[in-house]
Amino acid sequence: MWNAAWYAANERYGTEAEAKKHNAQFEQDANEFKKLAEGILSTKACDHIKNMFSSAAWAAANEKKEYNEEAAKDKSKMDEEHAKLVETGEV
């Protein structure tokens, strides 16, 4: 799901067309992961993983731009998603 990182980075650095392309690919990758995980992980767990990746990507992009408040919020969201994932008992 590395496209999450490219999406966030492109959003922060002003390349809108590339951001849209990578966001679409990230969504496609997340849906493909969900299909591959069928019978192994619940949809809820897959969504937590997707959100965790997205928050991590935004934290890194915001940190790079020195948007420290936003980066801290993103890290907090990432931690929340991780906790929710663990709470599912599936990982």
pLDDT tens digits, residue range 55-86?
A: 999 999 999 999 999 999 999 999 999 999 99
| Distance of alpha carbon 60 from alpha carbon 53, whole angstroms | 11
pLDDT confidence band for 90 (50 / 70 / 90): very high
Q: Is the pLDDT of residue 1 over 90?
A: no
Number of domains in the chain: 1
Q: What pLDDT is attached to residue 13?
A: 83
| Distance of alpha carbon 64 from alpha carbon 13, whole angstroms | 10
Q: Which of 55, 57, 58, 45 is nearest to 84 (CA)?
A: 45
Q: What pLDDT is attached to residue 11?
A: 86
Q: What pLDDT is attached to residue 78?
A: 98
